[in-house]
Amino acid sequence: MDPAEALERFERLVEGDPALVPLDHAALAIEEVLRGGVDEAGALGVLDRLAEGCTERSFEGLRHHLFDEVGFLGDRLHYDDPENSFLQLVLTRLRGLPILLATVMIEVGRRAGVGVLGIGMPMHFLVGDARDPTSLADPFTGVPLDPPGARALF
């Protein structure tokens, strides 16, 4: 796709009510703008298969599936590598930045019927259970957190 077309597509996806923005499509659209060659259908298919593989449909079950079974993790060795910022590459490499790993958990959760909220923190990003505000996780490490644990991380 032409870079100008890709940018126009991204702009269309993110205009309007932020609650209605399809996070998976928006992340892949910005990836197309910045690096090109994105296989959107393939990446969406990976998210679908990850959701199908989640047998325990709860926040903890989803966290366990993605981080303990599949092996998603933050890239500590090459944190600033641009590949950590692109959803399709994060899905392939199982490594990424906190916000992209949170995007994976949010989108897989949506497909699996598990509500996951993104939680911005200074210099970090967490995820939380939409049904239980005391159930949190650090998507960079995959570690579950309770409110005192989140405060300690903060």
pLDDT, tens digit, for every residue of 60-74?
Answer: 999 999 999 999 999
> Model pTM?
0.94
pLDDT at 28 over 90: yes
Cross-strand bridge partners of residue 14:
none
- Residue 122 confidence class, pLDDT cut points 50, 70, 90: confident
Q: Where do the structural domains in the chain lie, given as residue ranges? A: 3-114
- Residue 154 confidence class, pLDDT cut points 50, 70, 90: confident
Whether residue 52 contacts residue 6, with contact meaning beta carbons closer than 8 Å, is answered with no
Q: Which among 110, 105, 75 is positioned nearest to 93, based on CA atoms?
A: 75
Amino acid at 59: F
Give me the chain's average pLDDT, please: 95
> 79-114, pLDDT tens digit by residue?
999 999 999 999 999 999 999 999 999 999 999 999
- Residue 24 confidence class, pLDDT cut points 50, 70, 90: very high
Q: Which among 89, 144, 77, 88 is positioned nearest to 116, based on CA atoms?
A: 144
Write out the two tokens for 40: 């959107």
pLDDT on residue 80: 94
Amino acid at 57: R
Alpha-carbon 72 to chain mean position: 10
Alpha-carbon 134 to chain mean position: 20
Provide the pairing of β-strand 95-96 with 116-121: unpaired
pLDDT on residue 2: 84
Task: Tell me how far apart the alpha carbons of residues 43 and 57 are, in angstroms, rounded to a whole number.
Answer: 21
